[in-house]
Structures are given as structure tokens and as C-alpha cells.
Amino acid sequence: MPSSRSVAVVGAAGTIGQAVVEEFVEHGYSVTAMARRKSYWPTTAAYESVDLWDKQATIESFKRVGSHDLLVFAAYQDGPDVGGIVGPNVELMKNTLDAAVAADWNVEHVTLYQGGKYYGAHIGPFKTPAKETDPRIPGPNFYYDQQDLLEQRAALDGFAYSIFRPEAVCGIAPGNPLNLFLIIAAYGAICRELGMPMRFPGTKAAYESLYQVTDAGLLARATVWGTESPNARDQAFNIANGDHIRWKDFWPVIANMLGVDPGTPHHFSLADRMSGYGDVWAQIVEKYSLTDTPFNQIANWAFGDFILGNGYDNVFSMVKLRQAGFNEHMDTELMFQNLFARLRVERLIP
């Protein structure tokens, strides 16, 4: 049944944002996708260009589209270090919330996304399974600052909120290279073209540790649930597919899906070794008549080094989410199969 409510998705061109737009559209919501550029996927959602760095321009954008009941904040600014990204990401969120007030939006609910860095996954081994009640760790962390701002503004402006903490969100959003799935897909395509095995590039410890990922579609469905369920009001939830993998078992499975030999693990830096293969990527695009996606928009190799180099278990507890009423899950092997199939249909990989 179509919903009578409206939702604005800020950061709608990202991996999370595009999936969330698709899901709300499918549920019959009136959706406005707000970003500096349109998403890769065609959608019936309205589009509004917005530059969150320009506060006044953001207010004008919000005024043009009119009041929305729901606000999903999926914008993110990357940076060279954990301290340096605090200020910019807090500013993006503050400008968004300020614009909603200045444009007289009657916002009922705001959704925010965090991740494993909340538990210190970017620093070293952390307590597993990580629970939403785990204490914060010392040092700069933009997730903490954004959450503090959200809670303050919720009390001041009178909206409810939900926070989701996924790990390694996997989806298809060309132009967003901070995506483990697209990194693996590009790496596999290049290795196959060059007749090389797709060796696991991370450490031995990472090869053997437990890891988890989050399907972007699953996260999008949880987002819709979070706006509708009273059990999600003013709560933070971990969310991942629900199973766990060890790369030593799963890497050969992925290689087989891509039609390439997994070879034997060999620790090296993707950022150092793969950044020079732009010409090979261009040859692949031409040879197989693929969609012409610039090499630097397909994969952020340094991000791949970070994810595949974490030599410790990465496990979240999903008990709180299940008890609150969201019981969906995703088989990670099936997720990769489906995403690779979609990449081929869209002519993004051979």
C-alpha cells in the first residue's frame, strides 16, 4: 500500500543512499533524492541538487523541495585521518539539520548511519561480539560527534531518530569507490584479463579471522523499518548480513564467481600495485563493450587494503535488532552472486 509520507535522502548518490532511495520508492513513499549529482540508477524519485558545504544554498534547496516527514542522512566526507574527518562530517550533518529548520520542514524522524569505527575497528582488535551498549573508545571519532549532535537536535527540534551501524556495506553505486564489493570486482576483472591469479592481498591474520559484511539492500529495508517501527525510536542498532566469513574459505568462492584462479595468498598493498592498471581497465571496457566507468571511480585501493588487512575478528551482535522486530538477513555468498550478476547485466564487468 502506498505511503502518505515523504522522505528526503541526503547523500542519495552513495552506495547506501541509492539503495535507500530504491527501497522507499518501492514502498510507495514520496521520495526526494538530494545529492551533488544524480545517482547511477534510474529512479522515479525526484532529484534535487544540493551542496551541503554551502549552508545558504542548502537552505534554498530544502525550500525548493518543500517539507518532508522523514530525513535520511547518508552523506559522508572522506579524509586522510580519523581526526581530520570529524569537523567536515559534523558540518555536513549540521548544515542539513539547520536547513530543515530554516526551510520549515516538519521532520518526524531522522536516520543516521555509523559503522565498525564506532567500536574501534579501525584501530585494532575490539570486543566481540560488539554490542550497542559498549562504551566509546578514547580519541577522535566523527560517529560520536554526529550522534551527540543528532541527540541534541532531536530534543530541541522534536524529531525521533534511528541509527544503524553496518560493516562494509556492499552494493552497486559507480562513482563511489569506497565499496569493498566493487574493489573485489575490479581486482578480479583485471587479474582475469592479465591471466594472473587473484591472490588474497591481506595479511595471514586477516585471511583467517572472522569477518562480516552488510548488503546495501538489507540496510535499506532496515532503514524503512526504522522509520515505521516504534521499537526503533531513538535507538542505535548493529546490522550485518547475519552470517560470518573467513577469507581463507570465501576468497576461492569469490574467485570462482569471477572466473579467475584464487592462487595463494600474498600480502601486498592494493594501493601500491593496482593504481597503475588504469590502461588495462580501459582495455577491458573497450574489449567487452562495458559502461565507460573511470578507473578512479571504480575502486579505492587504499580502502581495500584497510578492509582486507584487519587481522582480527569483526563480529557484531544483532540481538538488539532482532528483539526490536527486524529479522531479515542475507546469505553473503548469495549476495555476492546477485551483485556480480547485476554488474554483468549493467555491463560494468565482463
Per-residue tens of pLDDT for the chain, all 350 residues? 467 899 999 999 999 999 999 999 999 999 999 999 988 778 999 999 999 999 999 999 999 999 999 999 999 999 888 889 999 999 999 999 999 999 999 999 999 999 999 999 999 999 999 999 999 999 999 999 999 999 999 999 999 999 999 999 999 988 788 899 999 999 999 999 999 999 999 999 999 999 999 999 999 999 999 999 999 999 999 999 999 999 999 999 999 999 999 999 999 999 999 999 999 999 999 999 999 989 988 899 999 999 999 999 999 999 999 999 999 999 999 999 999 999 999 999 99
Q: Please give the DSSP secondary-structure letter assigned to residue 30.
A: E
> Is 83 inside a domain boundary?
yes
Residue 202: phi and psi, rounded to 5, are: -80, -175
35/98 same-domain check:
yes
> Is 282 inside a domain boundary?
yes
Helix, strand or coil, per DSSP, at residue 69? coil
272/287 same-domain check:
yes
> Is 350 inside a domain boundary?
no
Q: Where among 238, 254, 273 does a domain terminate?
A: 238
Contact 48, 34 (CB under 8 A): yes
Confidence (pLDDT) at 38: 87
Cα distance between residue 306 and residue 107, in whole Å: 37
Task: Please report, for the domain that includes residue 91, its CATH number.
Answer: 3.40.50.720
57/11 same-domain check:
yes
Contact 230, 298 (CB under 8 A): no
184/310 same-domain check:
yes
Residue found by looking up cell 566526507 in the block: 77
306/218 same-domain check:
no
> Is 123 inside a domain boundary?
yes
| Partners of residue 71 on adjacent β-strands | 8, 110
CA dihedral 5, 15, 319, 303 (to 10 degrees): -160
Cα distance between residue 206 and residue 349, in whole Å: 27
> Is 349 inside a domain boundary?
no
300/284 same-domain check:
yes
279/303 same-domain check:
yes
Residue 347: phi and psi, rounded to 5, are: 60, 45
Contact 302, 118 (CB under 8 A): no
Confidence (pLDDT) at 4: 82
Helix, strand or coil, per DSSP, at residue 175? coil
44/158 same-domain check:
yes
* Count of domains for the chain: 2
191/336 same-domain check:
yes
Q: Please give the DSSP secondary-structure letter assigned to residue 132.
A: T
Which residues span the domain enclosing 309?
176-212+244-314+330-343
Residue 31: phi and psi, rounded to 5, are: -120, 135
Query: Phi-psi category of 245—alpha, beta or left, where left has phi over 0 and alpha has psi -120 to 50?
Result: beta
Q: Please give the DSSP secondary-structure letter assigned to residue 263.
A: -
195/257 same-domain check:
yes
Alpha-carbon distances, residue 260 vs 47, 193, 337 (angstroms): 39, 9, 15
Confidence (pLDDT) at 2: 61
> Is 324 inside a domain boundary?
no
Cα distance between residue 316 and residue 243, in whole Å: 10
17/31 same-domain check:
yes
> Is 303 inside a domain boundary?
yes
Cα distance between residue 106 and residue 108, in whole Å: 6
139/33 same-domain check:
yes
> Is 322 inside a domain boundary?
no
C-alpha cell at 110: 531522522
| Partners of residue 31 on adjacent β-strands | 7
Q: For residues 290-320, b (16+ Cβ closer than 10 Å) or e, as one string?
A: beebebeebbbbbbbbbbbebeebbbbbbeb
